[in-house]
Structure 1
Amino acid sequence: MLEIRPAEIADHNEIVQLWHQGWHNAHADLVPSEVLAFRTKEHFKLWLKEARDAFFVAIDDIGVIGFISVKEAEVVKLYVSNRARGTGATHVLLSFAEKLLHKAGISKAVLLCTAGNIRAERFYQREGWELSHSFEEALWIPEGVSEKFIVSTHRFEKNLGQIP
């Protein structure tokens, strides 16, 4: 049985582990190689500490298998463990976020996806998200770093009016 609940401080190490692994699996080949110096587990801990989004974790009998975060009308992050892929956990997390945003009065949700992340792009489209447009975006880097790393990014949107 999959449970989704607000993330707690005790979940941070598992979130960082999943995020680090998932980000490298999905993005490392899509971004300038120089950004990888800012994608260590320590940087993900800092990124999580600085995040202003609300995080929710998916838990099964073994522990945290995924997480999702939202901020205003945006689904900000969505990651699942390798063992959770193909189990429907990603669908459950995304549906949870959509319902959460809908209950908050959001009628149109957005999410951003690094262009070229084909697995994610296909998943979002299967889930009813539509590609709105693409643009160039600066990636997160720690405060005090003067370099900027730009990637092509897709903006997906979904009308939440029909969610029960």
Structure 2
Amino acid sequence: MTAPLEVRDGRAEDADDVARIHVRSWQTAYRGLIDQDVLDSLSIPDRAANWRRFIAEPLPTGLGILVAVRDDRILGWASFGSGRDEDGTADGEIYGIYADPDAWSTGVGHALLMTAAERIMDAGHTRAYLWVLDGNDRADAFYARHGWELDGATKVDERPNLTLKEHRRVKVLAG
């Protein structure tokens, strides 16, 4: 019998697991969409240090990071908060949702998405958005099944040695 899935707030001691999932999911989901050398160079220790800083920062109530846990093992995470886009299309944002590839299609992403949306609403936002890497058909299908609609917005996120082309999905959460 499978143990129940728990979604809870992330803690500093979760940073290594969050980083591991972040790197593994990028290396699996983005294969063929991002240069393989970039994917191969991703560092779990570097990501863990960044996550420790993020988790330790005091955040407004209801905003932050969630982890999904089963049998004392972190299987996925979601980060969320106030929207960062300047066009005012929506006021809450899901910054990222990632599940360990071994936990795909087990309800981890669903639980994280639903809980993050609830937290965004609890913080007073009635709408939210998220960005999806162009070509990430699995993520697009997942978000579409959950009612997140394309709104036509696109962006190019330039990073060192990496260009990410993304499209936005939005959802009315309340109102």
TM bin (shorter chain): 0.7 to 0.9
TM-score, normalising length: structure 2:
0.79
Aligned partner of 1:83 among 102, 120, 134: 102
Letter in 2 for 1:115: D
Most deviating of 78-87 and 102-111:
78-87
Aligned partner of 2:70 among 60, 80, 84: 60
Letter in 1 for 2:8: R
Q: 2: distance between equivalents of 1:155 and 1:2?
A: 28
Q: How far 1:48 sits from its partner (Å)?
A: 2.3
Q: 1: distance between equivalents of 2:31 and 2:11?
A: 28
- After TM superposition, which residue ranges in structure 1, 4 or more long, deviate above 3 angstroms? 32-38, 49-53
Aligned partner of 1:128 among 141, 144, 147: 147
Letter in 1 for 2:21: L
Q: How far 1:92 sits from its partner (Å)?
A: 0.9
**Alignment correspondent of 1:99:** 118
**Alignment correspondent of 1:10:** 13
Query: Are the equivalent residues in 2 in contact too, given 1:7–1:55 (CA < 8 A)?
Result: yes
Q: How far 1:132 sits from its partner (Å)?
A: 1.2
Aligned partner of 2:131 among 112, 136, 151: 112
Percent identity of paired positions between Structure 1 and Structure 2: 27
Structure 2, unaligned stretches of length 5 or more? 58-62, 83-91
Change (3 A) 1:35 1:82: closer
Letter in 1 for 2:94: V
Query: Are the equivalent residues in 2 in contact too, given 1:136–1:150 (CA < 8 A)?
Result: no
CA RMSD of aligned residues (A): 2.1
Number of aligned residue pairs? 156
Q: How far 1:46 sits from its partner (Å)?
A: 4.2
Query: Are the equivalent residues in 2 in contact too, given 1:58–1:93 (CA < 8 A)?
Result: yes
**Alignment correspondent of 1:70:** 80
